[in-house]
Chain A
Amino acid sequence: MDELEFRRRVLANPFELDDELIRFANQSASRQQFIKSAQCFDKNIRDAVDVSIPEDLAVRVILKQTMQRQASLRQQESQKTSNKPWYLAGIATLVAIISLAYAIYTASHHNQLAEHAVAHMLHEPSALQADGTYTLEDVNSMLSKIGGKIDSLPGKVTYLRYCDFDGEQSVHMVFHTKVGPVTVLFIPSQFSSPFTPSSYKFNHQSINGRIYSFANTKQVYMSANATLIARQHRKLAQTLSW
């Protein structure tokens, strides 16, 4: 071994020194110092690259995979049972052409809203696992700030926060049910169109959702279980006013 090879091997991995390297280093104080210096510098490198990890990253990764897996299973079930008569295809095409102009502007807006809502939910996975207990007063205290009020709680509220949704102060609520959580976002919205549907259904990143337009708000419901959404909306609609 020569000096060049010694330095190259030490700098390639300062903490993996075989017997040959150690014997060569022991022949000279400067070589031992070189190793110490390289190891000290390597510690600085390791400290430098040791950036903090986003909170709940592992939870979000597993959540996303779980939802995708459920969506995949539902799709497989749907393909097995699909058996529509052939003439419905022609009728569907005609309806689609007539509806195209009707839907395209409004759908674009709702589609973007849906994508934002899903991303917002995925970035706060702690909301789905929260186990708080919020009263009717707590809920109305927040809803009143954006013009809303409910007469009675349509289920147990385990998460309740304000959130900034695309610049609008909104309310983020999670209802706990026996089958799973349902997320509801109340978002003030000045968007209006003669073609705004009463509800807009979506599925983004394996999350089922519906957007309901009511007064000057959009209510975005999201859940892994689509049935829960309709059920929770029915309960909330009976008690909500704006």
Chain B
Amino acid sequence: MNTVQKQKRYEALVQVYHKELYRFAYWLCKDASIAEDVVQETFLRAWRSLDSLQDEKAAKSWLFTILRRENARRFERKQFDYSDVEQETLVDTTSSSLEDTLELSVLQRNIMQLAAEYREPLLLQVIGGCTGEEIAQITGLNKNTVMTRLYRARNQLKEQLTGTKDLVKGEPYG
């Protein structure tokens, strides 16, 4: 592949996946400007190893895998903060009712507070649209563990919001 084709391929990947990667990074890092830095580094690394991506269908899993690694490395990199806006609040909705807004921000807080082992698979599924197999590949877990964590993530969020436990007789809690 010549340079022009490679550049076009790269730009197409950026256009298609930058939003999902940003949203995933945002909920992973819990900070908008750090999320943007992580996305930048993810795509730079993707550019450098673009030749290793043989199958376009695997691009999404490949990019999310790179992003998780870059997030793990971010503490080694110096950060500059150039944001002139105030720190983003957790509320980010176009909902018209205050009640809905309150509920959304409580839910957003609860999602932020989920343990990473539950939050990541959930985010990969709802933001990335990843299947159980893709999540297993990205996280290095087996599929059964992924499905269990997805169930526990939703269960925990549901019970925090409704204050009720979804327990079935015989099911261990927690």
Chain A interface (Cβ < 8 Å from any Cβ of B): 3-4, 7-9, 11-14, 38, 41-42, 44-54, 57-58, 60-62, 64-65, 68-69, 115-116, 119-120, 123, 164
Nearest-neighbor residue (CB-CB) of A60 within chain B? B40
Which residues on the B side are within 8 Å of A8 (C-beta)? 147-148, 151
Number of chain B interface residues as a range: 35 or more
- Return B160 CB to nearest CB of chain A, in Å: 11
B36 contacts A57, CB within 8 Å? yes
B23 contacts A49, CB within 8 Å? yes
Residue B62, interface by CB 8 Å: no
Binary A-proximity of B46-72 (CB < 8 A = 1, otherwise 0): 010000000000000000000000000
Question: Which positions 89-105 of chain B face chain A at CB distance < 8 Å?
Answer: 92-93, 95, 103-104
- Return B161 CB to nearest CB of chain A, in Å: 8
Binary A-proximity of B22-42 (CB < 8 A = 1, otherwise 0): 110011000010001001100
A62 contacts B14, CB within 8 Å? yes
Can you list 22 A-B pairs with a CB-CB distance of less than 8 A?
A4-B170, A8-B147, A9-B147, A9-B151, A11-B151, A13-B150, A14-B154, A41-B157, A41-B161, A42-B126, A45-B111, A47-B93, A47-B104, A48-B104, A53-B22, A57-B36, A57-B39, A64-B40, A64-B44, A65-B43, A119-B82, A120-B82
Q: A11-B151, A13-B125, A116-B80 are in contact. Are A68 and B108 (CB under 8 A)?
A: no
Residue B133, interface by CB 8 Å: no
Which listed residue (A4, A53, A61) contacts B23, Cβ 8 A?
Answer: A53
Q: Lowest 3 A-B CB distances belong to which pairs?
A: A12-B150, A12-B147, A11-B154
User: Which of A8, A41, A48, A52 gathers most chain B CB within 10 Å?
Assistant: A48
Residue B168, interface by CB 8 Å: yes
Residue B141, interface by CB 8 Å: no
Chain B interface (Cβ < 8 Å from any Cβ of A): 7, 10-11, 14-15, 18-19, 22-23, 26-27, 32, 36, 39-40, 43-44, 47, 80, 82, 84, 92-93, 95, 103-104, 107-108, 111, 122-123, 125-127, 132, 147-148, 150-151, 154-155, 157-158, 161, 166, 168, 170-171
Which residues on the B side are within 8 Å of A65 (C-beta)? 10, 43-44, 47
